[in-house]
Chains A and B, each alone.
Chain A
Amino acid sequence: MLELKGLSVSYGSFTAIESIDVLVQKGEIVVLLGSNGAGKSTTFKAISGLEKPRKGEILFEGKSIDSRSPGRIVESGIVQCAEGRKLFPKMSVSENLIMGAYVHRKNKKAIKQSIKHVYELFPILYEKKENAAGSLSGGQQQMLAIGRALMAKPKLMLLDEPSIGLAPLIVEQMFEVIQQINEEGTTILLAEQNANAALGIASKGYVFESGSIVVQGTSEELLSDDSVRKAYIGA
């Protein structure tokens, strides 16, 4: 479904990722692991069209998308839920969700249905639907960010570190919801520090280190790989 071929991205003269290859099949959950500054978010930005690749190709459903505008990419079915729970803090929860369905703005009925679906996934958002997004707790904000990404009805969802800063119990719930979203038919590319939890739901993973992929394999392979265990699981 998504294929990165020899992708390189630079910020000015600094190369953030250097010729990486990633393959995501339809229906999968794929995880990108890597410490801070390894290049995960940069990869996401390139896929979303926010940063233009210096070299290489991004194929989505067989077509090259690297010259499309961010808006067109969302329309073709890739939605990013960026790191750091970026919301519109002064808009209410429901307004934030409606903004997420921007590309479907002509279809009011579909928007209503998507909102209902998001509220089913995250009942707490329904309770707080009139509240300003900025007044939610960190975990609730993360739920809202994911819910808003869902509103665009993505075929592929890019989730950038959804578990960061959340209590262990909430992390578990969050991964359950991610799995549920996946089972409902959305392919997921996940960036995570929390290797254990992420590999628990993913089918395969890639490990980034200063801009390149150093290890890749199925979740089982990665979980039993010594270097991965040492760096990300602490065992």
Chain B
Amino acid sequence: MAALLNRRTVISGFILLALVFPFLTKNSYVLHILTLAFIWMIAVYGLNLLAGYTGYLSLAHAGFFAIGAYSLGILTVKVGMNYWLAFLSSLIITCILGLLIGLIALRTKEHFFAIYTLCVGYIIYLVIDKWDGLTGGVRGLIGIPVPAGFGPLSFEKPLSQYYLILFFLLLTVLMVYRIVHSLSGRTFIAIRNSEELAKTLGIATMKNKLMVFVLSTLFAGLAGVLYASFIRFIGPDIGYITITFDLLMYLLVGGIGTLAGPIVGTLLIVWVSQSLQFLQDYRMLIFGPLLTLLIIFYPRGIIGAFYEWKIKRQEKKRMRALIKNHKDAEFPTANSVPDKKVKEG
């Protein structure tokens, strides 16, 4: 109970901080970077559902991000569609393409799945880069409108965009939370554990994998759509593989297969790479080895390490209490020690 309350206060604290943050800083650049980080987080949550909870590492994630962004760009700039209609259509387009690609990609597993999706991601990039007529090729698309206002609400100013994107981030977290804590979530974890075992329990693994794949592309697409109307200019590089690897890095650092991982990892890496900007691309010389060490020692990232530490501390406390109470009574037997349980998520 105390832990639950604790967790609830931590979460409300963070939400409150995010809400008042723009009033704490007068620096519009910081606000801009934070808004961008929120967008990445949404995409990372999508990757986490698929790679973290279901065990399928997709390297086409930036491709779907770009599909979302370009769909919105093309529908608003070239077709002249109403903004929110274009917004919705872009998400649908991303999901449909996700479904078609997932149908084929999910016939492979493990490394082959990763390699296959890597190729798919590159093909998406190439299509965007070369299909001048539709995407504007290397020149990209400019003049993408900001989100249209609702009645008195308008999203012209960076501050209002910050809140809009924060809203979508919270919505994403809520959705992922509900999914992970439902039977579907446990089904995904079951598939990650062992597909054959999942099958013997009667789980339709293909159907479930396809569902997660499409969900993960939905979040990538949502992030892409928000990116397009936040930056208002998009080029083919947003679909390039480096973006996928950035997203993956945020996830790994924060904690793959954990709920808070995407937020923690993204914030940390974005903040560190902003502070190390003077090093330019040599930053990677620092990140590379650090990331390797992290993966070796904390395969579930910062959040995973935190949970491990918490469990250890509780265990120690309990043992100490036991020893105190049973000073002369018998020593706690192996049976009376509740085995530690690492919570999923």
Identify the A interface with B (CB < 8 A). Answer: 48-50, 69-71, 73-75, 79-80, 82, 86, 88-92, 95, 98-100, 102-103, 105, 128, 130-132, 135-136, 148, 152
The segment out of B101-109, B182-190, B232-240, B321-329 that lies at the interface is: B182-190
29 pairs, CB–CB < 8 Å, chain A vs chain B? A48-B200, A50-B200, A70-B200, A70-B202, A71-B203, A73-B202, A74-B201, A82-B197, A82-B200, A86-B194, A88-B190, A88-B193, A88-B197, A89-B193, A90-B341, A90-B342, A90-B344, A91-B186, A100-B201, A102-B187, A102-B201, A105-B183, A131-B341, A132-B339, A132-B341, A135-B339, A135-B340, A135-B341, A152-B201
The answer to the question of B151 belonging to the interface, with a C-beta cut-off of 8 Å to chain A, is: no
Q: Which residues of B contact A80 (CB under 8 A)?
A: 200
Given A71-B199, A90-B341, A98-B186, 15 other A-B residues pairs in contact with their CB atoms under 8 A: A48-B200, A70-B199, A74-B200, A79-B202, A82-B196, A86-B196, A88-B189, A89-B193, A90-B189, A91-B344, A99-B186, A99-B190, A105-B183, A131-B338, A148-B201
A70 to B342, CA, bound (A): 30
The answer to the question of B81 belonging to the interface, with a C-beta cut-off of 8 Å to chain A, is: no
Contacts A50-B199, A91-B186, A99-B186; A71 near B204 (Cβ below 8 A):
yes
A89 to B202, CA, bound (A): 19
Instruction: Tell me the smallest distance from the CB of B242 to a CB of chain A, in Å.
Output: 33
Cβ-defined contact, B340 with A132, below 8 A = yes
Cβ-defined contact, A130 with B341, below 8 A = yes
Q: Which of A86, A90, A128, A152 contacts B202 (CB under 8 A)? A: A152
Cβ-defined contact, B202 with A75, below 8 A = yes
Cβ-defined contact, A99 with B201, below 8 A = yes
Cβ-defined contact, B202 with A103, below 8 A = yes
Q: How many residues of B contact A (CB 8 A)?
A: 21
User: Nearest 5 CB-CB pairs, A to B?
Assistant: A135-B339, A74-B202, A103-B202, A70-B199, A132-B341
A73 to B200, CA, bound (A): 9
Q: Which residues of A contact B199 (CB under 8 A)?
A: 48-50, 70-71
Q: Which residues of A contact B196 (CB under 8 A)?
A: 50, 82, 86
A90 to B344, CA, bound (A): 7
Q: Which residues of A contact B193 (CB under 8 A)?
A: 88-90
Q: Which residues of A contact B338 (CB under 8 A)?
A: 130-131
User: Which of B200, B201, B340 has the most chain A CB within a 10 Å cutoff?
Assistant: B200
Identify the B interface with A (CB < 8 A). Answer: 183, 186-187, 189-190, 193-194, 196-197, 199-204, 338-342, 344
Q: Which residues of A contact B200 (CB under 8 A)?
A: 48, 50, 70, 74, 79-80, 82
Cβ-defined contact, B339 with A86, below 8 A = no
* Closest Cβ neighbor of B200 among chain A residues: A80
A132 to B338, CA, bound (A): 9
Q: Which residues of B contact A131 (CB under 8 A)?
A: 338-339, 341
Contacts A86-B194, A132-B340, A132-B341; A71 near B202 (Cβ below 8 A):
yes
Q: Which residues of B contact A48 (CB under 8 A)?
A: 199-200
* Closest Cβ neighbor of B199 among chain A residues: A70
User: Which of A99, A128, A132, A152 has the most chain B CB within a 10 Å cutoff?
Assistant: A99
Q: Which residues of A contact B344 (CB under 8 A)?
A: 90-91
A48 to B327, CA, bound (A): 54
* Closest Cβ neighbor of A49 among chain B residues: B199
Q: Which residues of A contact B202 (CB under 8 A)?
A: 70-71, 73-75, 79, 102-103, 152
Cβ-defined contact, B204 with A69, below 8 A = yes
* Closest Cβ neighbor of A105 among chain B residues: B183
A209 to B202, CA, bound (A): 30
Instruction: Tell me the smallest distance from the CB of B101 to a CB of chain A, in Å.
Output: 23
* Closest Cβ neighbor of B335 among chain A residues: A127
Q: Which residues of A contact B339 (CB under 8 A)?
A: 128, 131-132, 135-136
A228 to B232, CA, bound (A): 79
A200 to B42, CA, bound (A): 60
Q: Which residues of B contact A90 (CB under 8 A)?
A: 189, 193, 341-342, 344
Instruction: Tell me the smallest distance from the CB of B337 to a CB of chain A, in Å.
Output: 10
Q: Which residues of A contact B197 (CB under 8 A)?
A: 82, 86, 88
Instruction: Tell me the smallest distance from the CB of A129 to a CB of chain B, in Å.
Output: 11
Q: Which residues of B contact A132 (CB under 8 A)?
A: 339-342
Contacts A70-B199, A99-B201, A152-B202; A91 near B189 (Cβ below 8 A):
yes
